[in-house]
Amino acid sequence: MDSISFHRNDCISLISGADKIKILDRSVSNSLVSFNNKEFKKALFCNTAGRIDDFALICPIDDKILMISSDEFCTETRSKLVEGIGWNEEFELRDAVAAISRFTVILSQSKALSIFGINEIKDNAMEEFGDMIILVTKIEGLVMLDILCQKGSTDTLLSLFERSDINLIDEQKWNLIRVKLGIIDIEDARGNLPWEIGLDKLITRGKGCYPGQEIHARMDSRGNKNKTLVRVISDKKIDVGKLRVDGFGTINITSSFSENELCYSLGICKDMPTGKIELSLDGSILNIESIPIS
């Protein structure tokens, strides 16, 4: 696969104040009380039914926290935090959208090491690159780097991409690539339980109450993981929504994008064994593959 970069449109917030970790921690499903050195965490904001409302990257930088959440639910997520500040707590949330850019880069491990000077590819590591910050995530055989830079440094980064044969792609191409690689976005996650899309690793059992905790505890104790995230490849266009397949069941398609007469989709279906199956639907071929939950 060619190396690619995509300029994301996200909700970027800068959080400060003595109680910032405490307030963030009680609002999300996983524990944020301690961070290892140069580590960022992913976090889920859930509703009272335990379903995902938003997800965020939480990056401790200096004595502040940079939080990156979905653009679509920016106001909702920020309100949850700001409205929940206790009268005697110190917490300030500032809008950093106009100041900081996020580029997602997908490339080989060797290229990541040579271009960005990263010593070791380590999941959830936060690396400094000049005045930029790089968040490292391992994906199957490749590396995903989320590069955070000041708006003023955008041109410097773009010329580095150009010199390094990293193609800047548009949103349509990005969506196609992320679906092919099984990278979920907010449209796949929102409204689903963390188990259904492989995000249950972002639940910390025993951290105490947070929105959705009662439901998560009940599901955990009953061992109910009965849905699977799947990738569907079809030679016919598939729309987002319910897809009924004879002999298989219903797949709730959450993302769907086409390229060269093939349609690539992500969806959620009843538990299926690991691997691929091939089925037919109205004369077209469907390849359904479960996406391993790491």
Partner 1 sequence: MSLLGGEGFSLPLVSETEVVDVILNFSDSAKLALVESMNGDEESHVLVISAQSGGCSGYLYEMKIVEDPKDENFQRIDVSGIGVLVHNKDSALLSGINVDFKDTMMGGGFQISNPNADKSCGCGQSFG
Residue 13 interacts with partner 1 (CB under 8 A): yes or no: yes
SS3 92: strand
Closest CA to 104 of 45, 163, 161: 161
Residue 61 interacts with partner 1 (CB under 8 A): yes or no: yes
- Among residues 35 and 248, whose Cβ is nearest to partner 1? 35
Residue 60 interacts with partner 1 (CB under 8 A): yes or no: no
CB of 64 closer than 8 Å to CB of 251: no
Cβ at position 208, least distance to partner 1 in Å: 9
Residue 34 interacts with partner 1 (CB under 8 A): yes or no: no
Closest CA to 267 of 184, 152, 209, 161: 184
Alpha-carbon span 284 to 262, nearest angstrom? 11
Which of 43, 93, 177, 203 binds partner 1 (CB under 8 A)? It is 93
- Among residues 83 and 246, whose Cβ is nearest to partner 1? 83
CB of 247 closer than 8 Å to CB of 268: no
Query: What token pair was written down for 9?
Result: 């449109």
Residue 2 interacts with partner 1 (CB under 8 A): yes or no: no
Alpha-carbon span 192 to 52, nearest angstrom? 6
Q: Which 139-198 positions form the footprint of partner 1 (CB under 8 A)?
A: 148-150, 152
Alpha-carbon span 224 to 29, nearest angstrom? 18
Query: What token pair was written down for 233?
Result: 């490849």
Stretch near partner 1 under the rule CB under 8 A, chosen from 88-96, 164-172, 177-185, 283-291: 88-96
Residues listed for the chain: 294
Residue 80 interacts with partner 1 (CB under 8 A): yes or no: yes
**Total chain residues near partner 1 (CB under 8 A):** 42
Residue 135 interacts with partner 1 (CB under 8 A): yes or no: no
Residue 90 interacts with partner 1 (CB under 8 A): yes or no: no
- Among residues 148 and 268, whose Cβ is nearest to partner 1? 148
The contacts of residue 70 (CB under 8 Å, 6+ apart) are 10, 11, 54, 55, 77, 185, 186
Which of 4, 8, 17, 26 binds partner 1 (CB under 8 A)? It is 26
Instruction: For residue 111, give the amino acid letter.
Output: K
Which of 6, 55, 103, 210 binds partner 1 (CB under 8 A)? It is 210
Stretch near partner 1 under the rule CB under 8 A, chosen from 127-135, 189-197, 246-254, 260-268: 127-135
Residue 92 interacts with partner 1 (CB under 8 A): yes or no: yes
SS3 204: coil
Pairing of strands 167-168, 4-8: parallel
- Among residues 160 and 293, whose Cβ is nearest to partner 1? 160
Contacts with partner 1, residue ranges (CB under 8 A): 13-14, 23, 26-27, 48, 61-62, 64, 66, 78-87, 89, 92-96, 98-100, 131-133, 148-150, 152, 209-214
